[in-house]
A and B are shown apart, each in its own frame.
Chain A
Amino acid sequence: MVPEQALLETQSAVEMITVVIDGFEVSVPKGTLVIRAAEKLGIQIPRFCDHPLLDPAGACRQCLVDIEINGRAFPKPQASCTIPVENNMIVKTQLTSPVAEKAQAGIMEFLLINHPLDCPVCDKGGECPLQNQAMSNGRPESRYEGVKRTFEKPVPISSQVLLDRERCVLCARCTRFSEQIAGDPFITLNERGALQQVGIYAEDPFESYYSGNTVQICPVGALTGASYRFRARPFDLVSIDSACEHCASGCAMRTDIRRGKTLRRLAGDDASVNEEWNCDKGRWAFKYLTSRERVTSPMIRGEDGELHEASWPEAIAFAASGLKAKRTGVLVGGRASVEDAYGYSKFARVALGTNDIDFRSRPHSDEETSFLTSVALGLKTTYKDIDKADKVVLLGFEPEEESPIVFLRIFKQVRKRALGVISDAPFASRGTEKLKAELVTDIATISGLTAKSVILVGERLSETVGALSLAHALAEKSGAKLAWIPRRAGERGALSAGAISTLLPGGRPISDASARVDVATAWSVDSLPTNPGRSTSEILLALSVNNLDAVVIGGVDPLDISNQALTQLLNSFVVSLEITHSSVTAIADVVLPVAAVIEKSGSFQDWQGSSRVFEKAIADSLSRSDVRILSMIADEMGTPINLPTVSATAREIAALGLWDGNVPAFEKVAPEKISASEGKLSLTSWRLLLDLGTLQDGEANLAGTARKAAAHISATRAQKLGVKAGDLISISTELGAIKLPVAISEMSDGSIWVPRNSIGSQVIANLGFVSGPVTVVKA
């Protein structure tokens, strides 16, 4: 559809209203607020409490304008942020109405009488709406001669947010955000009148996953982030548009850099994805780069068994000769950019002649492989479908923990129109409670879905045999829209780049000869390997029993896969592409330093499949993207992949395009009857948003707001164990044990839930699996 046509269509759907503002006519959809209609004309009415994504408050009174309708003037100036346009409305802003101008100047004067003059030391100085609008719409000088209101300052309202109450203009943006957008009313307006102030209940800090947004939308410097406070002046910063590397929600971001160092990150605007929000992890978890020892130069393991620094040509040659003619597998972490994942995919096929490649550095199954091969890339569900859904079903997916912006989007509809949500979670987490989700224990029992329903499937669904098959059947039967939402930012892109054993780039099945020809032609090679490749766990197994000789491994934490993964690597030739030193670099034969997200350009694909492009934020970084290094090794091996730069890679991906031929049918698997093991509880787990994930390293303020790890059991079970909430219990397998305080939840008496990777609760390392039978006793 050509854009004009699309426009016409939307116009006929919504009634348009024409108003005159300062003598100019403008047509806007019915329901548009005057303040926004004025924006369309480029007329900026000053404001503080107004925020386009929050319910109007009309509290600050800064946006007063004169309005007349059908020749009848309102006797008083009106708050333009609360009044929707009407036909025959004539609006006069401060530009044409002396009354509006005086009203605005009067309000500004009131706001400033109690505002401290600490702009030179305030974080907001230089980017402060109060400062700016005081200049443009205020009186030249204040007539106030009294003493300003003061408060003790600053008060930490969480480990990451500080409050300077005397700077606050009481616009209630922060409190409205917390209540309306995040569903976390942990900050409120307290007291009243001139003593009114933002506050928390002393025992319950502002521990919302979205708290950083309040810092961003505070129109003054009343709320500041502990990690950024006093660090920089806005005019010293260079801002770069970027994308968030933390999860598959796909947030647009802004990264602010000063002299090669990231000082802060902010949510970017993208109405179709994150609107104007992000989560605290995306905002504040960026110190991982500097927190651990960075790999600064290539390294080769010497005869002495130690790693030694080497020159790039040396290291590349060493890697190439180590891989040449070896049976090699490729493991790509879930955080690769699309371009890097494509590099690994092409490297495996062209330089290594193998399909032994997988991006899943986490538990996975053959059922999932088939689902990803046959179904996932064809899914077209988007955020907009959630907006319009008649029901949302969450399967193996905790949106607030695993894709927080997806959570916000669902919550918005729950709040706005009581959207119904169904979840297969074993108990109602805080996020589930906010969504008022109905819990089901058996996917097969879910009914009443329609073509307007949306089924969101998380990567964890693969951990239950047959569950993906049931979800797929549910979508097929009801016509509901299905979406696959992996946790990590790189997974969806890696899948479409072919970093999996069964697919070539663009979703081309390895099993399909014409698909192989397609790619071989594009890559100017004679043929591509046809043998079915191995999955992550199969690659590791093959390495450990010498069915494979070598592995190229990029950005993988073995403990995310299984507790034996690292030992399985020990007897092989390991080429590690890494940012920082890790358990893998410690055993690798060659270590090749790669660029972090801010040091390179590239893109991710969010769960919708949309491209999320990021630019190189640190312009003069010498670090190279994975794809460039792989290309160098391939050259050295004599089997070039010709991907010298990220942009060349992106062009090649675009030229190759998507597969439009057949894909193999999804091989469904029947659900397994899980027989209760004698005397044991059935454990499930997922990761909390804030946990021990390596990308959160080095940010103690953020970690301070993480939800405390607890083991959830039913009241009956607690009684049987002789424990109450807060008591310690021990959860064990043959491998080991963890000790956690008890939380009582409504759930099956035979179940127990613990966080997967939190302090005191690292289930893969300590219990050896992410779900299964465990022994539970009072500790």
Chain B
Amino acid sequence: MTPTSKLTPVLSANWDEKDSFTIEGYKRSGGYKAVTKALAMEPDAVIQMIKDSGLRGRGGAGFPTGSKWGFIPQGDNKEHYLVVNADESEPGTCKDMPLLLANPHVLIEGIIIGSYAIRANHAFIYLRGEVVHVFRRVQQAIEDAYKAGLLGKNIGGKGFDLELTLHAGAGAYICGEETALLDSLEGFRGQPRLRPPFPAIAGLYAKPTVVNNVESIASVPSIINNGIEWFQAMGTEKSKGFTLYSLSGHVNNPGQFEAPLGITLRELLDLAGGVRTGHKLKFWTPGGSSTPMFTDEHLDIPLDYEGVSAAGSMLGTKALQIFDETTCVVRAALRWSEFYKHESCGKCTPCREGTWWLVQMLHDLEDGKGTEADLTKLLDLCDNIAGRSFCALADGAVAPIMSSLKYFRDEYLEHQRNGGCPFDPVASTIFKTVGA
């Protein structure tokens, strides 16, 4: 198989059209056909179809989307809500924003179908607030969908009503965590909620709610259009379909690659022109900074949910951040820790105080003031944070530290021996290459 045939552009298939983000552009490339098909089906049949397709959540955890929809109690005389998680803030993750910039209508089409399936008459898109142009595109798409009768009352003459509200976040990574997102959307501080009750039972306004990632929902129209078999033909045994892989960092051609689940980094790197010329792969994240890092040992791991987790990490958001040998892993871990400290919501002790402490320790280690004993202490602190916190943010916070210590323990100690960081930060910048 040539690398090229490995790619399966679906969501990105029309991004090279100048007007891909308009309703005309979307329709021209076959958009809004799935809605007609889906509205002709029974809602439960739509749920079943998504279940059968094997589509799993693309927001990080990989939970089967159809099952999630199936958890919404039906006939309960309550409002139901579909909330799309477009908070995309996990470091390294950069798939939902370009998708929404280039093709917001595919999400809206997915929202109409999903809402119809779970019997929701109001859906929300929670979009991170730091991307104004994406906001503009989604907002216009919603307006145009209303104008086209795809949103509002009696959609497609099928008696189905749907309101769609776009909501801007305001700078808080934790609001990507689904229950924090719901609190934020209700007008509170975005801190995670106790579970149970789960959103399917008591979500937005304490009503049954589905929270799905942008990419998960955007994948729905293609499944309705092309069928289960088409979808299942892609991917691996338990990880079906296509997905967006994002390559960034020290690669010659960073970018988005839509491919079947199970592709390997080696294959993707080939497509991206390889690791920065003249350099070699040192470490990489399979799915954002919260997923334990890998090294060049892991180039051939199938990038699906099972493959990555068998190798000790998580597929996460498929955000493949590539770092070459010029990068100091201690600096990377410290910088990520600063991120988690900054983004810790403050609700629970281990995350709030733990990330604050970790940053101080890593600073000392970077400055060459850490000892071997400090590494033991650092690991013990990580152990006291992970699995002790209220939500998964803190588990993510220790992932870069624990995994970097696993593969690069000596590099930490090298800082002490060297009396500071042995790396030249300039060597890792892009201008170095530009200038070189």
Interface residues of A (CB under 8 A from B): 56-62, 64, 75-77, 82, 102-103, 106-107, 109-111, 113-114, 143-144, 146, 149, 169-170, 172, 189, 191-196
Contacts and interface: CB of A to CB of B under 8 A. Distances in A.
Given A192-B189, A194-B356, A143 B377 contact: yes
B390 A61 contact: yes
Contacts of A58: 194, 348, 390
13 contacts: A56-B194, A58-B348, A59-B349, A61-B390, A106-B388, A110-B352, A143-B377, A144-B357, A149-B356, A189-B346, A191-B346, A194-B344, A195-B346
A59 B191 CA distance: 10
Interface string B331-345: 000000000011111
A189 B388 contact: no
Contacts of B352: 110, 170, 193-194, 196
Interface residues of B, number: 29
Given A64-B388, A143-B377, A110 B347 contact: no
A10 B388 CA distance: 37
B157 to A, nearest CB: 38
Contacts of B194: 56-58, 82
A106 to B, nearest CB: 3
Interface string B156-193: 00000000000000001000000000000000010000
Contact of A107 (B344, B345, B350): B350
B74 interface: no
Interface string B98-127: 000000000000000000000000000000
A193 B357 CA distance: 12
B129 to A, nearest CB: 15
Contact of A193 (B355, B383, B390): B355
B384 A60 contact: no
Contacts of B342: 193
B181 to A, nearest CB: 15
Contacts of B385: 106
Nearest to A99: B387
B390 A59 contact: yes
Given A59-B348, A110-B349, A114-B353, A193 B343 contact: yes
Contacts of B154: none
B389 interface: yes
B350 A61 contact: yes
A62 B355 CA distance: 17
B172 A111 contact: no
B199 interface: no
Nearest to A194: B356
Contact of B346 (A57, A77, A109, A193): A193
Given A106-B385, A189-B189, 4 more contacts: A106-B383, A169-B349, A170-B347, A193-B352
B349 A146 contact: no
A194 B349 contact: no
Given A61-B389, A76-B388, A110 B353 contact: yes
Contacts of B241: none
B384 A194 contact: no
B353 A194 contact: yes
Contact of B353 (A113, A172, A189): A113
B260 interface: no
Interface centre among A57, A61, A76, A106 (most CB of B within 10 A): A61
B354 interface: yes
A60 B349 contact: yes
A191 B350 CA distance: 17
Interface of B: 172, 189, 194, 341-350, 352-357, 360, 377, 381, 383-385, 387-390
A429 B352 CA distance: 40
B74 to A, nearest CB: 25
A110 B384 CA distance: 9
A103 B387 CA distance: 9
A537 to B, nearest CB: 54
Nearest to A60: B349
B355 to A, nearest CB: 7
B349 A196 contact: no
B387 A61 contact: no
A76 B395 CA distance: 12
Given A61-B388, A77-B387, A110-B384, A192 B345 contact: yes
Contacts of B344: 192-194
Contacts of A189: 189, 346
Interface centre among A58, A102, A169, A193 (most CB of B within 10 A): A193
B346 A114 contact: no
A196 B341 CA distance: 12
Interface centre among B341, B345, B347, B350 (most CB of A within 10 A): B347
Contact of A60 (B189, B348, B354, B387): B348
The 3 closest A-B pairs by CB, nearest first: A106-B384, A196-B346, A76-B387
Interface centre among A82, A102, A109 (most CB of B within 10 A): A109
Contact of A111 (B353, B360, B383, B390): B353
Contact of B360 (A60, A77, A146): A146
A59 B189 CA distance: 14
Nearest to B389: A61
A62 B353 CA distance: 13
A170 B194 CA distance: 17
Contacts of B356: 113-114, 149, 193-194
A106 B345 CA distance: 19
A143 B346 CA distance: 22
B39 to A, nearest CB: 36
A110 B354 CA distance: 6
A63 to B, nearest CB: 11
A110 B357 contact: yes
Nearest to A146: B360
A99 to B, nearest CB: 10
Contacts of B345: 192-193, 196
A146 B381 CA distance: 14
A56 B390 CA distance: 13
Contacts of B343: 193
Nearest to A191: B346
B388 A107 contact: yes
A137 to B, nearest CB: 13
A193 B341 contact: yes
A82 B192 CA distance: 14
A581 B350 CA distance: 58
A417 to B, nearest CB: 13
Nearest to B387: A76
Nearest to A192: B346
Contacts of B360: 146
A359 to B, nearest CB: 49
A194 B338 CA distance: 11
A427 B10 CA distance: 62
Contacts of B384: 102-103, 106-107, 109-110
Contacts of B348: 58-61
B334 to A, nearest CB: 14
Contacts of A60: 348-349
Nearest to A143: B377
Nearest to A74: B387
Nearest to B383: A106
B341 A194 contact: yes
A107 B349 CA distance: 7
Interface centre among B354, B383, B389 (most CB of A within 10 A): B354
B368 to A, nearest CB: 16
A61 B349 contact: yes
B192 to A, nearest CB: 10
Contacts of A114: 353, 356
A410 B385 CA distance: 41
B251 to A, nearest CB: 33
Interface centre among A76, A109, A113, A194 (most CB of B within 10 A): A194
A82 B390 CA distance: 11
A664 to B, nearest CB: 53
A149 B346 CA distance: 14
A586 to B, nearest CB: 57
Contacts of B377: 143
